[in-house]
A and B are shown apart, each in its own frame.
Chain A
Amino acid sequence: MTELALLALQVTDPLRLPNLVPFMIFTVIKMITVFTVTLVGVALLTLAERKISAWIQDRHGPNRVGPGGLLQPAADGLKNIMKEETYPDAAYKPIFILAPMLAFIPALLTFAVIPFASPISTRWGRIDMVVADLPIGFLYILALTSLGVYGIVLAGWSSNNKYSLLGGLRSSAQMVSYEISMGLSTVAVLLVAGNVSLNEIIFQQATTVWNFFGLTIAFFIFLVAAFAETNRLPFDLPEAESELIAGYHTEYSAMKFSMFFIAEYSNMVTASALIATLFFGGWDIPFTLWDNQAPWTIWKTLATATAFSVKVLFFLFFYMWVRWTLPRFRYDQLMSLGWKFMLPVALVYVIVIAALLLWLDWLGIRPGAMWGAILGGVNVMLAAILFVMLDHGKLISPASSRAQADRLARLRAMGVRPALTPDSVH
Chain B
Amino acid sequence: MAIGVKVLDRPTEQVSYVRAMLSGMALTFKHMIDPHKVTVQYPEEKWPISPRWRGTHRMLTDETGKSKCVACGLCPQICPANCIKLVPGEDEEGNRYPLIYEIDEFRCIFCGYCQEVCPEEAIHVGRHYENSEYSRAGFVYDLERLTAQTHPVCEMWDPDDPKGE
Contact = CB atoms under 8 A, between A and B. Distances in A.
A415 interface: yes
A316 to B, nearest CB: 15
B41 to A, nearest CB: 7
Contacts, number: 75
A111 B27 CA distance: 33
Nearest to B23: A325
B47 interface: no
B36 A58 contact: yes
A59 B37 contact: yes
Contact of A402 (B3, B15, B36): B15
B39 A59 contact: yes
A68 interface: no
B31 A57 contact: yes
A58 B25 contact: no
B37 A60 contact: yes
Contact of B25 (A54, A325, A415): A325
Contact of A391 (B12, B36, B39): B12
B24 A411 contact: no
B113 to A, nearest CB: 40
Interface string A392-425: 1100110010110000100110111011100000
Contacts of B7: 403, 408
Contacts of B24: 325-326
A52 interface: yes
Nearest to B33: A55
B17 A393 contact: yes
Nearest to A323: B28
24 contacts: A54-B37, A54-B39, A58-B31, A58-B36, A58-B37, A58-B38, A58-B39, A59-B39, A60-B37, A60-B39, A321-B25, A321-B32, A324-B28, A325-B24, A325-B27, A326-B21, A387-B18, A390-B17, A393-B12, A393-B15, A400-B17, A414-B5, A415-B5, A419-B3
Interface of A: 52, 54-60, 63, 321-322, 324-326, 387, 390-393, 396-397, 400, 402-403, 408, 411-412, 414-416, 418-420
Given A56-B31, A392-B12, 19 more contacts: A56-B32, A58-B31, A58-B39, A59-B37, A59-B38, A60-B37, A321-B28, A325-B21, A390-B16, A391-B16, A391-B19, A392-B16, A393-B12, A400-B15, A402-B8, A402-B15, A415-B3, A415-B4, A418-B1
